[in-house]
Chains A and B, each alone.
Chain A
């Protein structure tokens, strides 16, 4: 700890968002600084490199107005932190962790560093409790469990916003030991999106929501802090107050573009498509904060939204995300054109932890078998659809036509549900309603007893 504030007027170079400061005596890596401009305004900044007495500072926002002789840099001896208290519930923060809802501020119980500390893999609990999202394509076939990170891979123009809204309205846990909270973090969203989300959040905000907003016209550097602030709040609610926390991050594509922008400004070597080589580790430092700890109540579950540039799933952002997260929900432009909501393509979608969260005592005993059978019939239906394009409907056998019809019904009745939320039991029942269109003898993925009981 330093006893007094250190002030310097030794700016040597300014370019882009970066400042070089000379003759600095004491400084920490990642330290926050305040920059006092000659016109009386103030900017924030952060130390990103130290080379002897020469310190490289990254400025949040514009460097316009900074000069070499009359600008003062104040070193705070602090790294970026998030104020924490049970009173954060219902509040709205910006990308610097400042309240922007115009309500009176609160006294934080403590302030925690936002970078988070890695969880000891030995302390992790295997995620195994079901979370209901109200969407059949997720609950039924790609089930989300507490402690999981399951991204939504969207394309521009697809209703990822409406899906997030749906989840915010309907998400619940079946066993709630000490409450359920939603943390909503938006990075680089437009005013249009902002007002949409605020309308959705209005109803539930006060009792179970914390909101972090970084708008498209706000500094890119704050975009990098937003998810970290949100996750620090999530960890607090979860591990200290024992709540089940669902974190929604939208949109990680904006986040990664900001990462690229900042990295380029620092003069780092660009990797694939200009994104920095460390983007995998950087994304992991966000996504891996989801989880559960042995012996503690509460869980952090994450649904990040990734908009795939050019609908390309091999683009570095969805690609690296997919390598870290435990599955993915992939949206389809074709289904959306057909008016299906949510337009989830279940074939490339996957929840790696699904098996842990379903079955007797969790959802229902027939869940696994039912999902496998629906999946199998639908996959065969989709194959037939391809075949139909070549040989025409006349060239198909009776059996093939049934699969074709099933694929269509499945999309219209199971995947499509409009604005209505479904409980998982309702979802399973819709699944059985579809399966009954096949004779029992066609089933190859369901146990006999299960067929007898539910057919």
Chain B
């Protein structure tokens, strides 16, 4: 079907002559064939959202109706790729279009001629139904399981083994239907699963303050709000490097181009401490920098989470990092206002909340139809305007997130990184995963966690007093607590993302904290027994403690 452009306003294009088109189906707009999505049916016209800049588009230019929704191509070869918000491969476009993103961008998301080694799990004559695993392909460090597409059931007529290219089918059913190594899946449709499970394992991030104080569970959801300069991106990237996940999907949504260049360079030369392979090999990057089209920004997080779900369905622990969800919400606002919808708070559409909830609810530990259990954890940063956490996006996120890691401008100015405010942050997963830590790490994990929190809280109160009366006027035990708390803050909670300390396994973190807490408890006992502050807190004892921490 072909229509023509009848009107243009921002990235919204009105089209005549497409009666019969379906909502959310894809269109190619104008001579330049800009990709778009139908967002409204209006009498004889349809209204579409275009994913590129519309400057230069003319009245009456043709519009081509594709007849299917905006989809992603899912199959082997996704790992290590860098895509834009609509899954166009940016490194391929770099080769074909040069350094700038102009001109027609019709490149296949996956290389169909690349050869892979396929190992089959079923044989001729087996009955298979939708989502059943028929075999796997080695994709870097993981087995990339191939499944029967949705809605296909039957008996296997022929199955291949060994080298295959994506363009050829890996199996035929007896009725002649093909099964390919890849399939298309609509961007906005969550992938189905049998049921969600309660998670009792943490996702180890390697950041002491997170793993110890505010852990997130596998399948959980954490948000990371902070003003500019508080280190959101550095923290997200550090987690992307070191988190104990099988697959990382990182979506740079409306952020800086230079940061993405830095990240790419790092990921291309750093290796995963656990597998020894390049970090890039377990990572998929979706990039929509702040100057790339806004409408594609709105789609980018859906592209990212759908790809993440695809790997989750193979039974892997997948981590989705989104930086930043505020830019997505702003894109939503921009689109909503160009559709002339009634605005809600601060101009955001009133469905902002429900869109966000349904996005975050796609995280979880699930049992899939293939019989495998996988998890999808979401960590999203939020950029509140003016660092004001009462704004609608932060508030909407707070209602669904299980862990809240609040970044603090004051800590960042003092160069305390990660600048997570320990009095305002929280995690609802602590109890769920305490048992796991008790088994894997130490019996004392839960009690140490409580003691550290208590110490920090006390220090905060004492600080206010000492600012008035001076440190020297405090009781010896309080003075001692303040000194130890400072050591805990600078050596335990702070972690330099650019040194070997960037990743700290929980066992190690536990030892460190135990040394600090023991030092404190022993000291308090000595004070009770009549010793003076100066006698306990000596250069000697401190350097001994530091030695124990740094070991």
Task: Tell me, yes or no, whether A binds B.
Answer: yes
Chain A interface residues (CB < 8 Å from chain B): 24-30, 49-53, 79, 113, 115-127, 147-148, 239, 268-272, 277-278, 280-281, 284-285, 287-291, 293-294, 296, 314-316, 319-320, 322-324, 326-328, 347-348, 350, 353, 355-356, 375, 379, 387, 390-391, 395
Does B26 count as interface, using CB distance less than 8 angstroms? no
Kindly identify which residue among B54, B98, B261, B343 contacts A269, using a CB–CB cutoff of 8 Å: B343
Chain B at the A interface: mostly helix, strand, loop or mixed?
mixed
Q: A28-B57, A30-B55, A277-B330 are in contact. Are A375 and B415 (CB under 8 A)?
A: yes
Assign chain B's interface to a size class.
35 or more
Kindly identify which residue among B9, B260, B291 contacts A51, using a CB–CB cutoff of 8 Å: B9
Kindly identify which residue among A284, A296, A322 contacts B291, using a CB–CB cutoff of 8 Å: A284
Inter-chain contact B90/A120, CB cutoff 8 Å? yes
What is the minimal beta-carbon distance from B458 to any residue of chain A, in angstroms? 21
Inter-chain contact A314/B291, CB cutoff 8 Å? no
Inter-chain contact A322/B55, CB cutoff 8 Å? no
12 cross-chain CB contacts under 8 A: A24-B59, A28-B59, A115-B55, A117-B102, A118-B100, A119-B257, A122-B90, A271-B347, A322-B228, A323-B228, A350-B229, A391-B470
Does B264 count as interface, using CB distance less than 8 angstroms? yes
Inter-chain contact B8/A126, CB cutoff 8 Å? no
Does B216 count as interface, using CB distance less than 8 angstroms? no
Residues of B within 8 Å of A355, CB to CB, are 498
Kindly identify which residue among A272, A289, A326, A391 contacts B256, using a CB–CB cutoff of 8 Å: A326
What is the minimal beta-carbon distance from A383 to any residue of chain B, in angstroms? 9
Among the listed stretches B158-166, B314-322, B380-388, which one makes contact with chain A, having 4 or more residues with CB under 8 Å of it? B380-388
Residues from 373 to 410 in B contacting A, C-beta threshold 8 Å: 383, 385-388
Residues of B within 8 Å of A147, CB to CB, are 258
Inter-chain contact A291/B257, CB cutoff 8 Å? yes
Kindly identify which residue among B101, B262, B468 contacts A117, using a CB–CB cutoff of 8 Å: B101
Task: Tell me the bound Cα distance from A284 to B258 in angstroms.
Answer: 13
Task: Tell me the bound Cα distance from A1 to B6 in angstroms.
Answer: 19
Q: A120-B90, A322-B229 are in contact. Are A278 and B334 (CB under 8 A)?
A: yes
Task: Tell me the bound Cα distance from A79 to B58 in angstroms.
Answer: 12
Inter-chain contact A124/B258, CB cutoff 8 Å? yes
Inter-chain contact B294/A281, CB cutoff 8 Å? yes
Does B548 count as interface, using CB distance less than 8 angstroms? no
Does B290 count as interface, using CB distance less than 8 angstroms? yes
Q: A121-B260, A353-B258 are in contact. Are A49 and B8 (CB under 8 A)?
A: yes
Residues of B within 8 Å of A126, CB to CB, are 258, 261-262, 265
Residue of A nearest to B285 (CB): A121
What is the minimal beta-carbon distance from A150 to any residue of chain B, in angstroms? 11
What 5 pairs across the A-B complex have the smallest Cβ distances? A314-B386, A284-B290, A288-B291, A123-B99, A124-B261
What is the minimal beta-carbon distance from A379 to any residue of chain B, in angstroms? 7
Inter-chain contact A121/B99, CB cutoff 8 Å? no
Task: Tell me the bound Cα distance from A28 to B100 in angstroms.
Answer: 23
What is the minimal beta-carbon distance from B225 to any residue of chain A, in angstroms? 13
Task: Tell me the bound Cα distance from A71 to B94 in angstroms.
Answer: 47
Residue of A nearest to B92 (CB): A122
Does B372 count as interface, using CB distance less than 8 angstroms? no
Residue of A nearest to B469 (CB): A391
Inter-chain contact A269/B383, CB cutoff 8 Å? no
Q: How many A-B residue pairs have CB under 8 A?
A: 184
Kindly identify which residue among A79, A296, A379 contacts B99, using a CB–CB cutoff of 8 Å: A296
Residue of B nearest to A391 (CB): B470
Does B175 count as interface, using CB distance less than 8 angstroms? no
Residues of A within 8 Å of B102, CB to CB, are 117
Inter-chain contact B60/A26, CB cutoff 8 Å? yes
Does B7 count as interface, using CB distance less than 8 angstroms? yes
Task: Tell me the bound Cα distance from A257 to B15 in angstroms.
Answer: 34
Residues of B within 8 Å of A30, CB to CB, are 54-56
Task: Tell me the bound Cα distance from A25 to B4 in angstroms.
Answer: 13
Does B174 count as interface, using CB distance less than 8 angstroms? no
Most chain B C-beta atoms within 10 Å of own C-beta, residue among A28, A123, A375, A379: A123
Does B282 count as interface, using CB distance less than 8 angstroms? no
Does B82 count as interface, using CB distance less than 8 angstroms? yes
Residue of A nearest to B333 (CB): A277
Task: Tell me the bound Cα distance from A182 to B392 in angstroms.
Answer: 42
Residues of A within 8 Å of B292, CB to CB, are 118
What is the minimal beta-carbon distance from B71 to any residue of chain A, in angstroms? 23
Inter-chain contact B59/A269, CB cutoff 8 Å? no
What is the minimal beta-carbon distance from A54 to any residue of chain B, in angstroms? 8
Task: Tell me the bound Cα distance from A270 to B347 in angstroms.
Answer: 8
Inter-chain contact B290/A379, CB cutoff 8 Å? no
**11 more CB-based (< 8 A) A-B contacts, given A123-B94, A277-B333:** A29-B58, A30-B56, A50-B5, A117-B100, A120-B94, A122-B90, A277-B337, A293-B99, A296-B99, A314-B387, A390-B467
Q: A285-B291, A319-B385 are in contact. Are A115 and B53 (CB under 8 A)?
A: yes
Residues of A within 8 Å of B59, CB to CB, are 24-28, 50, 53
Inter-chain contact A277/B58, CB cutoff 8 Å? no
Inter-chain contact A120/B9, CB cutoff 8 Å? no
Interface flags, B403-434, vs A, CB<8A=1, else 0: 00000000001110000000000000000000
Residues of B within 8 Å of A148, CB to CB, are 258
Does B144 count as interface, using CB distance less than 8 angstroms? no
What is the minimal beta-carbon distance from A236 to any residue of chain B, in angstroms? 13
Residue of B nearest to A54 (CB): B7
Task: Tell me the bound Cα distance from A288 to B287 in angstroms.
Answer: 14
Task: Tell me the bound Cα distance from A289 to B291 in angstroms.
Answer: 8
Residue of B nearest to A312 (CB): B386
Inter-chain contact B291/A118, CB cutoff 8 Å? yes
Inter-chain contact B90/A121, CB cutoff 8 Å? yes
Task: Tell me the bound Cα distance from A125 to B265 in angstroms.
Answer: 9
Inter-chain contact B260/A124, CB cutoff 8 Å? yes
Kindly identify which residue among B94, B101, B258 contacts A118, using a CB–CB cutoff of 8 Å: B101
Residues of A within 8 Å of B252, CB to CB, are 121
What is the minimal beta-carbon distance from B376 to any residue of chain A, in angstroms? 25
Inter-chain contact A268/B337, CB cutoff 8 Å? yes
Residues of A within 8 Å of B229, CB to CB, are 322, 327-328, 348, 350
Inter-chain contact A269/B90, CB cutoff 8 Å? no
Inter-chain contact B258/A326, CB cutoff 8 Å? yes
Task: Tell me the bound Cα distance from A44 to B335 in angstroms.
Answer: 29
What is the minimal beta-carbon distance from B414 to any residue of chain A, in angstroms? 7
Interface flags, B90-130, vs A, CB<8A=1, else 0: 11011001111110000000000000000000000000000
